């Protein structure tokens, strides 16, 4: 067998997904697993609005099925997202070529690029470097720390999902709060630290939303609106 060099990981390290034990279904997942197809069938059998075609009813039934499985995570969400690929051609709503083409839409690849950027940032601690560099230039007063985190989060959310940007910045903010609690002196009350913690969390959250408005990556609905406008 080939020896693994020091510092390198064996291939088996990257295949842990396949060796994980299958998780048992909880009650909600079991209910969702049955409820999704049941709603699909009941919709097709009993819902026939006059102003909705049979194809429209079929799409409504598919939507209910997918929504239930997404909410309950009865099966992996990635697998649930493939249901239209099977069901839409079965209902003669679209042919397989038209459905599969939508899975290669540029919006999907924009999503993928944003996720890859977020993973790369977290892997190499780029978000930490950005935050600490900004704070280093602005100063360490509470107001300047808040401003620094808002600038850093807003900047990151322009290139990755605002949810991802906030989630990778929150731990840094919490680490600063923890250090402040450990180093606090008699002049700093617990109440003041609590207010600063609340302010920091809110600042990161709002900055993620504000910064994300600068590009189309921050939220799916931005890309969907653009797609619909261009195709009107």
Cα 125 to Cα 21, 76, 84, 120, 172: the distances in Å are 31, 29, 38, 8, 11
228's tokens: 């619909």
- What is the pLDDT, as a whole number, of residue 119? 78
What count of other Cβ atoms lies within 10 Å of the Cβ of residue 84?
Answer: 20
Judge if 217 and 150 occupy the same domain.
Answer: yes
Structural domain includes residue 165:
yes
- What is the pLDDT, as a whole number, of residue 4? 47
Q: 35 near 45, Cβ under 8 Å?
A: no
- What is the pLDDT, as a whole number, of residue 64? 95
Phi and psi, residue 57, nearest 5°? -65, -40
- What is the pLDDT, as a whole number, of residue 179? 73
- What is the pLDDT, as a whole number, of residue 152? 86
Structural domain includes residue 4:
no
Q: What is the mean pLDDT of each run of 10 residues along the chain (232 residues)?
A: 49 45 75 94 90 90 95 90 91 89 78 75 76 75 86 84 80 79 66 85 90 71 67 66
What count of other Cβ atoms lies within 10 Å of the Cβ of residue 219?
Answer: 16
What count of other Cβ atoms lies within 10 Å of the Cβ of residue 131?
Answer: 25
- What is the pLDDT, as a whole number, of residue 40? 95
Judge if 52 and 154 occupy the same domain.
Answer: no
Structural domain includes residue 5:
no
> 197 exposed, middle or buried (CB, 10 Å; 0-12, 13-18, 19+)?
middle
Judge if 114 and 91 occupy the same domain.
Answer: no
Q: 152 near 138, Cβ under 8 Å?
A: no
- What is the pLDDT, as a whole number, of residue 65? 95
Q: Which domain holds residue 51?
A: 11-97
Which residue, among 67, 73, 71, 81, has the nearest Cα to 39 in the 3D structure? 67
Structural domain includes residue 124:
yes
What is the C-alpha to C-alpha distance for residues 38 and 35, in angstroms, rounded to an integer? 5
Judge if 199 and 157 occupy the same domain.
Answer: yes
Judge if 68 and 167 occupy the same domain.
Answer: no
Judge if 73 and 128 occupy the same domain.
Answer: no
Query: 190-212 and 162-183 helices cross at what angle (nearest 10)?
Result: 160
Judge if 28 and 115 occupy the same domain.
Answer: no
């Amino acid at each position: 067998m080939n020896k693994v060099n020091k510092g390198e990981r064996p291939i088996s390290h990257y295949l842990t997904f396949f060796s994980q034990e299958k998780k048992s279904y909880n009650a909600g997942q079991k209910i969702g697993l049955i409820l999704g197809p049941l709603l699909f069938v009941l919709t097709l059998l009993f819902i026939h609005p006059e102003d909705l075609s049979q194809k429209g009813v079929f799409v409504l039934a598919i939507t209910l099925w997918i929504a239930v499985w997404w909410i309950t995570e009865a099966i992996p969400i990635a697998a649930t997202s493939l249901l239209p690929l099977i069901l839409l051609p079965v209902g003669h709503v679209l042919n397989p070529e038209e459905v599969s083409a939508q899975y290669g839409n540029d919006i999907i690849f924009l999503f993928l690029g944003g996720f890859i950027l977020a993973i790369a940032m977290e892997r190499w601690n780029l978000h930490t470097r950005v935050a600490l560099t900004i704070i280093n230039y602005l100063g360490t007063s509470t107001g300047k720390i808040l401003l620094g985190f808002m600038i850093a989060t807003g900047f990151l959310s322009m290139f990755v999902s605002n949810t991802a940007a906030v989630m990778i910045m929150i731990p840094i903010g919490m680490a600063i709060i923890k250090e402040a609690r450990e180093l606090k002196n008699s002049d700093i009350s617990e109440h003041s630290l609590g207010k600063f913690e609340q302010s920091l969390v809110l600042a990161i959250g709002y900055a993620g939303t504000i910064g994300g408005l600068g590009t189309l990556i921050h939220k799916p609905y931005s890309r969907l609106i653009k797609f619909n406008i261009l195709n009107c």
